[in-house]
Amino acid sequence: MFESTTDKEGKSTWRDGAGKVIDSAKVEDLLTKMSNLRIATFETRVDPALKTPALSATAQFGENKGENRTETVTIARSGSSVVASRPDEPGAFTLEGNGFDEVMKALDSLK
């Protein structure tokens, strides 16, 4: 878990689940790489690999604007493919290229 907090002076800081301040540039890199993931194909069935995901991410948006929105995605490897699903959508989808590998590298850099 990562959380963005703002101190009394208005400075934003990223913290991990234990409350430890973490490198904001690395978190921003992770978020950018996650937002760059693209869908290659849509599937009508949910891939069994999603029962043991490699990553499950939930993001909350709009907290300051009064329009709170939460988005969740679950991602898993299925053979040589990377598959993903969202709880509010039927089926699943296959992701393009090696973007997921880049996401995992960025996540590892925060450890």
Question: Strand order in 81-85's β-sheet?
Answer: 39-43, 92-95, 81-85, 69-78, 55-61
Prediction pTM value: 0.84
Q: Determine the pLDDT at residue 60.
A: 81
53-85 as b/e, with b when 16 or more CB fall inside 10 Å?
bebebeeeeeeeeeeeeeeebbbbbeeeebbbb
* 9-51 per-position pLDDT tens digit: 888 888 888 889 999 999 999 999 999 999 999 999 999 999 9
Q: Determine the pLDDT at residue 63.
A: 67
Q: What pLDDT band is residue 109 in, cutting at 50, 70 and 90?
A: very high
* 80-95 per-position pLDDT tens digit: 999 999 998 999 999 9
CA quadruple 60, 63, 64, 66: dihedral positive or negative?
Answer: positive
